[in-house]
Amino acid sequence: MQDFYEITSAATEEQRQNLAELTGSGFGSAPDTLCNHIRYLRFGSIGQIFCYTSWKQVVTDVADQVAISWSEVLGDRTWHDLSTQEIEDAVVVKQFQHLLEQLRPEQRQHLLMDLTRESDDPHLEGFLLGGGAMLAARMSGFGVYVLASTVLGSLTGALGITLPFAVYMGVSQTLALVLGPVGWAALAGGVLFSLNQPNWNRLVLSVLHIATLRHSATPSGATAEQQYSKAGSIAVG
């Protein structure tokens, strides 16, 4: 869990508290505590004592649960050649595509238009409609951040989780309006609760959150939070 520990150690206290809220950590938000809680979510009360797995393996297990296309992600490589970030990004894209599938055509078009406007990638809409797991490899860090925060925002809205930092509610105002309260519940049922064990639900949220943290710094020097705020369409819960 060294990679996870380093990312959470570099995060702000507020970001760690958000992660603790998302994962249901009842013992605080210190990096060590969060590491132990991820092990608990993956292996249970007894299993966590004996299993000291890597964050890459946890993300891989989540990727299996959400059914990413490993043949697209791997190409001619092996699992050992993949970075943890690549697998996280593939999970983000897969969950976003699940989200799109739950929307009516007009809702889907509204969301894609908003994301295209907010992202720094002019080809984003075409990628989202036509791309699979390979999409993650073609996107900028900020593009992945936008997708991860959008899915995270939609799922936390559906679950009634309110995070204090608005950027984590990254779903667009347009989507919030067209869905409404009933739509949020349907979205959660289609995207998150299709995974039939509560621990997997929490682990999906943790992967999405870590993806936002990993991509929060952009090459231009501005944080992803600042770029997203500048885009002007963050929905505040």
Q: Is the pLDDT of residue 64 over 80?
A: yes
| Tens-place pLDDT, residues 82-122 | 999 999 999 998 888 888 887 778 777 777 777 776 665 66
**Cα–Cα distance for residue pair 52/196, rounded to 1 Å:** 24
Candidate from 15-24, 98-107, 134-143, 151-160 with smallest mean pLDDT: 134-143
Confidence label for 19 from pLDDT (cuts 50, 70 and 90): very high
Q: Does pLDDT of 75 surpass 90?
A: no
Domain ranges of the chain: 2-231
Q: What is the mean pLDDT of residues 33-40?
A: 93
CA distances from 211 to 17, 44, 91, 136 (A): 16, 24, 9, 12
Of 52 and 228, the one with more pLDDT: 52
Tens digit of each residue's pLDDT (9 = 90 or more) over 177-231? 555 554 555 555 555 544 545 588 889 999 999 999 998 754 444 444 444 443 3
Lowest-pLDDT range, 53-57, 150-154, 181-185?
181-185
Whether the CB-CB separation of 219 and 142 falls below 8 Å is answered with no
Under the banding of pLDDT at 50, 70 and 90, the label for residue 47 is confident
C-alpha–C-alpha distance, residues 159 and 169, integer Å: 12
What band does 165 get if pLDDT is binned at 50, 70 and 90?
very low
Quick check: 179 and 187 in contact, CB under 8 A?
Answer: yes
Alpha helices in the chain (DSSP H): 2-10, 13-23, 31-50, 55-66, 70-74, 84-102, 105-118, 124-130, 135-138, 141-159, 173-191, 198-214, 224-231
